[in-house]
Structure 1
Amino acid sequence: MGNQLMLNMLEQSSGYAPEFKLQGTAGGLRVLHVPQPASVELWTVGASKEEITEHAVMYSSVVERGDGYLCEAELAAGEISCKIIDEWVRTADDTWQVNRKLSVLQGAEKTGFRLRFDAVTALQEEMDFTDLRYFAPPALYDKNDLDEDGVEDYLSTQDLMYREDRLNMLAVTAYDEKRKVSMSLMRADQPAYDSVPDRPDKERLFLQRTDIGSLGVWTAPNAEKQMSLRAAYPFFEGRCHALYMKERPDWGSFWPAETGETLKVSYAIRVEMKDKFIDAIWSAYTRRMKDLDSTPVPLPASAEKLNEYRLEALDRYYIEKGEDEDPNMPAGYALNCHPQNGIQLSNIIQFGFTGQNILSAYNSLRFGLDNGKTDYVEKAQKVVDFFVNKAHLPETGMFYNLYSVEKKSFDFWWTGLLLPLAYAEGERLVELMGPLYEHREFVIKALREKQGSYLRCMNEDVHALLLIYAFEKSQGRENKEWLEAARRYADFLLKTQETDGSWYRAYDIDGKAITDPPIWFGTTIYEQKSSTATSVPLLVELYEITGEGRYLEAAKKAGRFVRETIVAGIKFNGGIHDSIYAKGQLIDNESIYFPMIALLALYKATKDQYFLEGAHDAAKLNASWTVLWDVPLPEESTLARFGFRSTGIGACDTPGAGYVHPFELSGVAEMVEIAGFTGDKDLLKVAELLWHGCNQTVATPEKDWGYAYTGLQEEGYLISWWAWDDPMFGDTGFGKRWKGEGNKTCFPWIPAVAVHCYWKLYDQFGTADFALIKEKVAK
């Protein structure tokens, strides 16, 4: 029997207060206490946030009931009085649940209340934010403190509260590394409804009947030098990106304090002993998956039919120019549209990241050969030839990232979201970007002078180049020039690899690392070298094709850096290239996907358990970006009308928590493979959730999601509020990104990663049907 979490009601002069101890430790380890369990905030409509009043008391009565307690408290403030009844019940050896009911006995007009709950740390005499490590995916990994200054990087604070619709597992976990104690505060009942707040003048405080609360970590109340796992109902967020990107103001709702109003909400406290932070993370997440009873979303069509739809849509945006039109003879998938109208915004051929042109060529060629579509095959070969013959820089081995068909030239693309920089200037540029241009102008000016490429972008499409080379060779057609280009690039990697096994985030066309401006390329080793893992899969692939051990040795050296610095340190970041937040590099799900696939590739090539253990830890972190419950959406929203379910969709990045996208399809096959190697059934379950959830929004003839063409899929979706009031997303083509809406964007990466995932599953198991896959993995 493990440690039991014991709940005691301590009687004091002012009443009773809950205290939690771990039974089984010497003398019982006191871990948490709730000094003022009945806590309410009151606000009058029109008042400022400084005029919010806080009222808190202990329980006035406690009655033991079986293995639990029934507790009551009455609280009066001016005209208002209310009664709080808390039912404490044990739900597991290490878990207690409190079912809360608040009744307004005497209310007041134009007044609202918010119920609060603080579980305060009690492990040592004093404790602050830096003494613990935190896990609240996708919003908080450790402290989100890559620059190690003691505060969260994106919100610049140590007090963090998140709307529950931003949290994948409806919980926040704090881990004490000294005592190996993991403490979680969880929303026990799932929020069932939400609406668009009534705030005609962009009020930041308002009355609202919503079932969305908040969870977070906060400095303990009442001058205690401790940290609190805090809950609020309805929601409150301190510094956040819900309304504005740059200012990051607080906001929150209050329940109308009308006589007779009653609300109910349930929380749970769970305390475990775990040797490592990664163990605490995985236990917290997988147990929540069981608590929430996460079930896959039905696929809109068979996997094979979805491939057909996706590639037909992609083919609409194929573009090529003959030598008479453009001596470079460009060819590529230039998909860049608002899926609602399908109209091409620009003829940009991008390699890697949002473009994924060579991976799309690989997908189209395989599909074309399987289904007799010779035009798909011919187009794919032209795309690869253009990449090898024109995008390649043989002097250094590097590749360009972007080609502008209109300009008939290669260009340099640094700022991701600021894609209009590649095809617009002057007033047109300002028109497309709105206030975002001014917000990022100093970065734009610095980057416009640089000529070079992102490491990730080059690595992605060179890896895809090796995949299509090997596949073509298996079909009896060898493209030696494709392999030679990949070899020249790999030689660039070997030449630029640092002594610790790493690479920098970007390089100029002469092959020198780019580290300026620091806000964009990073100030610490974790940021500047965040893309190192992206080099590994192609080096392993090239070793397997050529048999040259130098490629594997470089990959192993990089793998050790990735496992020890990025994965073990939980310092993954920088996978995404389009930050508009306080700093240029984000903690995002793409930056842990690459370590996962890199370490798995090394394990398969070497059979070294060191790499499998690293891949498994990376897979746990990668899996945690998956939403485990169905967030309630405003009834009138687009996603609600089409029946969108958030279970199984992948979150994107920490500062944009509440924004989700289907990129996590990229790693589904690898997660299945790691689950098979390790016997981790929970990891297999998350892979299944992802496969279904991330494929649900492909437009089909039966359900088009409001898109112009069958096969299109939007890049991302808002299941919480993000930049709602910010003019940079107001009246532009990308505007009105409200809760329950999409981001009005479509890029080639969307079908690229999805169809590639299908091929990986098919090559492993002969199917993408998870009912069959689970049977095969179990064997």
Structure 2
Amino acid sequence: MIKIAFLQEGQGYYPRILWGDGPADALIFPAPVTVHYLNRGSKAMNYTKVSKRSDSEWAAEAEWEEAGCRFRVLDVWSADEGRAVLTRRFLAGKAEGECTPAEGVQLELRAEIPSDAGRTWRFAHPATHYSDPVPLSEIREAKVFMEDRLTYPAVIAFQPEEKRYFTLGRVSLPVFSEAPRRTAAKENFYLQKTEVGSIGYSGGRDEVVLRAFWPYFEGDRSVALNAGRVPVSAYYPLEGTPMEMELSYDFRFGHGDTFADAVYGAFKGYAELNPPQPAELPFSLEDSMEYRRVSLRRSYCELENGGAGFFFHFDPRHGYGSQPSGFGTSFNNIPHESYTRILEYGFTGRQLNTVYSLASSDGGEWIERGRKVVQFFVDRMPKPSGFLYSLYDIENDKPFASFGEEGAPKLHYISHGNIPGNYLRTMVEPAFDLLMCYQLYASLGSEQASWWETTRNFADFLLNVQNEDGSWYRAFEPDGTPLKNAEGFGNDEFSSKSASSIPILYLIAMGQQAGEAGRKYLEAARRAGDYVLETYVPLDHYLGGTLDNPNVIDKEAAQYTCAALYGMYKLTGEKRYLEGSVRAGKIFVTWNYVWNAPCLPGTDLHRADFKTVGNGGINSIWGGGVVDIYSLFHIEELDRVGEETGEDFFRRMAEWIAIGTQQVLSHPGDLMGFTDLGMQPEGFGVCNQGIDEGMIAKGDIWGTLGWIYSAGIYGLGKYLAARGR
């Protein structure tokens, strides 16, 4: 049972939480009341009064004056099984004279975990920061993040050797925020009326420090303002006193065999504490797919050279043929005018996948139209080696490399270097879509031999470039030469091979389609599955899934691993693959919101009554501050793994994702300010990202790129079919 005690220091008191008998089995809260002022420095103090209400509950208070104001903190500390809770009332009122109107105040809470300098730690902020193991002595900077950047506002501190973890989480979730009060000077410390705080950790000489701020401090580095990552700090204005704010946090202690177990256990526990409240949609999930098909059909166009494609890159506020609204990746603003003249077949535009979706659902004229789209790809995009281009420049009537080609259109997934080539992922996706189209048309009595030959040649290319350990590098030249260990392709062998899960499901499907001749593809899939299972899963480390920020920890790497290993389990029946899928899934689910972060009044998302539950953060640069609907591609596998293993939270998360990702979709009752039915932004700004450099502000929408049609039709459709809907 957790025990709370108060220690006296001079004339004051501070709490200590005990959960065992050892010297490290404690959380210590020196100076439990720390206040920072915008213009007057800081003050740290102990409680002046404490009283024991019961064996498991204490009351404590502190009172002081500053800047013409009188402040009080009234705290209640309570203990429960596995957790302690702090409920804090903060009151500010006038003292002598008037409160300084330009003054602002910020509270900080620090919890110290005693630790030897050499003890190893690992930390997680859901959807933002998944650290490597690090000894206390090497923790160099504070990692503190705005609560709305996190899919649940909590930090998890894990001790791998002891297999135990500690958490600090917000219990009273923020629901309101106004915009920061900044001037033309672009201050990074400013006044702001907001309930949003921040949570994180830092290292001390003999302790790990869990930290909570209200309003938020984000540092030692923040992406909120600029590429320099200057920290930001908000202070609640003292105007209009008296004022009162209630805050509540809890501190949890648990055991987990792995980092994934610890992060998932804490995340799931907080979702149970504050049950997710997904959006209430004015239409069914099945209807949402049809709305998207309406728009997708209208993006179809036939070309003068006999080809055809879907021109699904546009700004939904301006309609078909417009330029997608600008955005940035890794603090690079990407020119977007080229999007109106290219056909994209992988990653952010899945031409062949849209053929599969429309031909299978609509039939009729979409069989022939789809054939034109696919044949255009087959006739122009393969190389004799089996290598595939995935981008086509209509203006110059030729394919072009995804990177390294001088004078080629520049897309958002740029990389450095001058060697032309393509990414593994942007070849696998069109090859897999081509296989599905081949299978669909064959089932309709219209087998296309050249389609099979093209996807088979690419599968053979994959076998030729597969490494002896079962992995693949992240990118290749047309002759199969790998591009690796360089900016954009991975810093070392570990990161350069981090996309090795991506071909697995495709090779399984190829092996099953090819019959006896497909054994080599199944064996290649097994070797890749074993490599992923033995290399990335034991470290709970998934990176390099996205191509616009290609060498960071991200959501898509985790979800691809979860899905690929589940595919291996279905193929082989071997439990080790299922266990690996579950372990990757435990990280994948934490990338998706289980609470509703507040929107700024007057923004696009506020007008749409946007709920963050079910939407996913993208990568560890932006964290959950930018969300999209990409999780839809693999919620079928997440749901199936949940059913297979009894992990019901996986299934509930799949449902929350299915619902939450249909928001801001134009429908018959509300076109959302867009020009047609079935349009949706590509992404949503949950908190500021690089706003001083014209990137994404809290409440923004942007896009659209065509991948969202595949996610919202194909990805969602797989899930609904698996659920018998």
Is the deviation greater in 239-248 or in 280-289?
239-248
Q: Does 1:188 align with 2:171?
A: yes
Q: 1:41 to 1:567 in 2, by over 3 A?
A: same
Deviations 1:15-43 (A, max 9, x none): 222212224xx558523211110111122
Verify the 8 A CA contact 1:245 1:723 in the aligned structure 2.
yes
SS in 1 for 2:165: strand
Take 1:256 and 1:127, find their aligned partners in 2: how far apart are those partners? 42
Match status 1:335 vs 2:312: yes
1:742 counterpart letter in structure 2: I
Query: Residue in 2 aligned with 1:216?
Result: 200
Determine the structure 1 residue equivalent to 2:334.
Answer: none
Contact 2:111 2:209 in 1 (8 A): yes
Structure 2 distance, partners of 1:285, 1:183, is 12
Distance in 2 separating the partners of 1:311 and 1:761: 17
What is aligned with 1:771? none
Shift of residue 536, structure 1, vs aligned partner:
0.4
One-letter code of the match for 1:36?
A
How far apart are the structure 2 equivalents of 1:289 and 1:420?
A: 49
Q: C-alpha offsets along residues 78-111 of structure 1, whole Å, 9 cap, x if unaligned? A: 7554221111123x40111111112235343422
Shift of 1:765: 3.4
Whether 2:178 is the aligned partner of 1:228: answer: no
Residue identity opposite 1:407 in structure 2: N
Q: Give the equivalent residue in structure 2 for 1:459.
A: 428
- Alignment pair present for 1:61 and 2:49: yes
Indicate how the Cα distance of structure 1 residues 76 and 179 shifts in structure 2: closer, same or farther if over 3 A, else same: farther
C-alpha distance after superposition, 1:24-69 (max 9, x if no partner): xx5585232111101111222xxxxxxx522111122211112210
One-letter code aligned to 1:397: G
Match of 1:734?
none
For the pair 1:588 / 2:554, whether they are aligned, the reply is: yes
Residue number among 7, 10, 17 corresponding to 2:7 in the alignment: 10
Q: Deviations over 1:614-656 (max 9, x none)?
A: 1111111111111111111111111111111111111111111
Q: Assess if the C-alpha contact under 8 Å between 2:597 and 2:611 holds in 1.
A: yes
Instruction: Give a deviation string over 1:248-292, Cα, whole Å, max 9, x none.
Output: 111111122455333221111111122221111111111111112
Matched, 1:535 2:503: yes
Amino acid in structure 2 at the alignment position of 1:339: P
Which residue of the other structure, out of 508, 515, 526, is the alignment partner of 2:484?
Answer: 515
The answer to whether residue 374 in structure 2 is matched with residue 384 in structure 1 is: yes
Distance in structure 2 (CA, Å) of the matches to 1:609 and 1:367 = 35
| Alpha-carbon distance in structure 1 between the residues aligned to 2:408 and 2:546 | 18
Equivalent pair of 2:470/2:531 in contact (CA under 8 Å): yes
Q: Which residue in 2 is equivalent to 1:554?
A: 524
Aligned position for 2:335:
none
User: Residue 752 in 1 paired to residue 719 in 2?
Assistant: no
Distance 1:194 1:120 in 2: 30
Deviates more, 1:251-260 or 1:178-187: 251-260
| Structure 2 residue 24 is the aligned partner of structure 1 residue 42 | no
- How far 1:13 moved relative to its partner? 3.1
2:233 is aligned with 1:266: no
Give the counterpart of 2:571 among 583, 591, 605: 605
Which of the residues 96, 109, 114 maps onto 2:106? 114
The CA deviation at 1:420 is 13
- Whole-Å Cα distance in 2 between the matches of residues 468 and 20 of structure 1? 61
Q: Aligned Cα RMSD in Å?
A: 2.5
User: In the alignment, which residue of structure 2 is the partner of 1:428?
Assistant: none
Partner of 1:173: 156
Aligned residue number for residue 619 of structure 2: 653
Does structure 2 conserve the Cα–Cα contact (< 8 Å) formed by 1:6 and 1:20? yes
State the 1:453 CA deviation. Answer: 0.9
1:216 counterpart SS class: strand
Contact kept, 8 Å, 1:22 with 1:28, in 2: the verdict is no
Distance 2:509 2:298 in 1: 31
Q: 1:78 to 1:631 in 2, by over 3 A?
A: closer
For normalisation by structure 1, the TM-score amounts to: 0.85
Residue aligning to 1:714:
681
Instruction: Give the drift of 1:173.
Output: 0.6
Q: Distance in 1 between matches of 2:136 and 2:453?
A: 46
| Structure 1 counterpart of 2:232, from 224, 238, 251 | 251
CA distance in 2, matches of 1:400, 1:37: 59
Task: Check the 8 A contact 1:401/1:454 in 2, yes or no.
Answer: no
In the alignment, the residues of structure 2 paired with residue 634 and residue 669 of structure 1 have an alpha-carbon distance, to the nearest angstrom, of: 33
Shift of 1:572: 1.0
CA distance in 2, matches of 1:392, 1:634: 48
Residues 21 and 29, structure 1, Cα contact 8 Å, conserved in 2: no
Question: Are residues 746 and 78 of structure 1, via their aligned partners in 2, closer, same or farther at CA, if it must alter by over 3 Å?
Answer: closer
- 1:8 offset after TM fit, Å? 1.9
Cα distance, 1:150 vs structure 2: 9.8
Letter in 1 for 2:497: K
Q: Describe the shift of the 1:685–1:237 C-alpha distance in structure 2 as closer, same or farther (beyond 3 A).
A: same
How far the C-alpha of 1:347 sits from its partner, in A, is 2.2
Give, in whole Å, the separation in 1 of the partners of 2:511 and 2:137: 42
Matched residue, 1:777? none
Residue 519 of structure 1 aligns to a residue in which SS? coil
Residue in 2 aligned with 1:308?
290
Amino acid of the structure 2 residue aligned with 1:60: T
Q: Which residues in structure 2 correspond to 1:610-689 (within 5 Å)?
A: 610-657=576-623, 658-689=625-656
Unpaired segments of 5 or more residues in structure 1?
45-51, 425-432, 730-736, 768-779
Q: Which residue of 2 aligns with 1:412?
A: 401
Aligned pairs for 1:454-493 within 5 A:
454-493=423-462
- C-alpha contact (below 8 Å) 1:337/1:343 kept by paired residues: yes
Residues 1:125 and 1:144: Cα distance change in structure 2 (over 3 Å): closer
Contact 1:298 1:696 in 2 (8 A): no
**Matching residue's letter, 2:180:** P
Residue 116 of structure 2 corresponds to residue 158 of structure 1:
no
- Please say if 1:82 is aligned against 2:63: no
Alpha-carbon separation, structure 1, partners of 2:644 and 2:427: 30
The one-letter amino acid of 2:705's match is F
Asked whether the equivalents of residues 26 and 113 of structure 2 are also in contact (C-alpha less than 8 Å), the reply is: yes
8 A contact 1:204–1:250 mirrored in 2: yes
Equivalences, count? 698
CA-to-aligned-CA distance 1:148-195 (integer Å, 9 cap, x gap): 99989xxxx631111111010111111011222211101110101001
2:535 aligned to which of 556, 565, 575: 565
Is this contact kept in 2: 1:99–1:267, CA < 8 A?
yes
Q: 1 CA distance for matches of 2:675 and 2:641? A: 38
Same amino acid, percent of matched pairs: 28
CA change 1:637–1:127 in 2 (3 A) is: farther
| Structure 2: tracts of 5 or more residues without a match | 324-339
Query: Is the Cα contact below 8 Å between 2:7 and 2:16 reproduced in 1?
Result: yes
Matched AA of 1:250 = P
CA contact (8 A) 2:484 2:492 kept: no
Moved more, 469-478 or 481-490: 469-478
Q: In the alignment, does 2:473 pair up with 1:504?
A: yes
1:725 deviation in Å? 0.8
Matched residue SS, 1:376: helix
Residue 427 of structure 1 is matched in structure 2 by none
Given candidates 361, 365, 371, the residue that maps to 1:367 is 361
Aligned mates of 2:259, 2:689 — CA distance in 1: 30
Distance 1:421 1:635 in 2: 43
Distance (Å, rounded) in 2 between the aligned partners of 1:726 and 1:556:
46
Cα distance in 2, alignment partners of residues 239 and 314 from structure 1: 44
Whole-Å Cα distance in 2 between the matches of residues 8 and 275 of structure 1?
Answer: 30
> 3-state SS of the aligned residue for 2:264?
helix
Find the counterpart in structure 1 of residue 331 from structure 2: none
Q: State the alpha-carbon separation in 2 of the partners of residues 528 and 27 from structure 1.
A: 43
Superposition deviation, residue 682 in structure 1: 0.7
Whether the 8 Å CA contact 1:103–1:261 is kept in 2: the answer is yes
Partners of 1:360 and 1:748 within 8 A in 2:
no
Which position in structure 2 is the counterpart of 1:349? Answer: 343
